[in-house]
Amino acid sequence: MYVHEKFQLEVIMENRLDGMTNVLRRAAFWEELEVLAIKGNEAGTSLTVVLMDLDNFKTFNDSQGHAMGDELIKRFADILRSNCRTDDLLGRYGGEKFIIAMPDTLPEEALLMMEDVRQQVSSKTYTFEVADRRIEHRFTFSGGIAAFPKDGKDPRAVVRSADAALYRAKKNGRDRLALAIKTRMILKSNYYPKAQLDKLAELAEKSQKTDAFLLREALDDVLAKYLDRKNGTPPIEKDDQEI
């Protein structure tokens, strides 16, 4: 009886897990996501979904071959798995697309966590081996982030919002993350005057970008203006020179 039950469990797990990456298949992920949404709704907590896609994967797959493309997908899955927390849910959404559900997590928190992963991936060169072939390759990914119930009335609507945010991240240059349009980074009114926040919200709406994206862009401009890019020291302004 024990052997039979163990076999049944193995069959069930095989049906739930993706054979290549050993993460949840899409159908199994949907089932678990529905459960997490119910729990989050009962507890009054935010459930955040991150939908990710490898950048320029088709070009790599066509030029290096499907076997090498499979190795890239598996490596990406391993990186995501190693960065998931205990309660996070990781699934393969299809092809080179992956999805993570983060219980009791605000979208802004998910953005910060996944930004660390994005930087980790984009800053490294990875080695891939298939048979007697060995290549060095750098790759990036883009991601869209949305939360339940803020960005959708049900889990599927939230994933659609994340997918729309992913599309925007791709459109804006790839190798970046985007929050769903309805989601806004939490801004402290005591840090920013209301007039500035109102103008920022208006600009975000017109440009179809998030507050977070615009603030990061502004911060990059400030750093470029006041820091010497070569050594990280502030340049000497004309008015600041000793007389």
Catalytic residues: 96
Cis before 149 (ω within 30): yes
Contact of 183 with 212, CB cutoff 8 Å: no
Structure tokens belonging to residue 149? 């119930």
Residues 4 and 52: their CA atoms lie apart, in Å, by 38
Residue type, 95: G
E strand or H helix at 142: strand 141-148
Residues 205 and 49: their CA atoms lie apart, in Å, by 22
Contact of 197 with 189, CB cutoff 8 Å: yes
For the chain, how many residues are written? 243
φ/ψ (deg, to 5) at 117: -65, -45
Residues 150 and 153: their CA atoms lie apart, in Å, by 8
Residues 59 and 64: their CA atoms lie apart, in Å, by 8
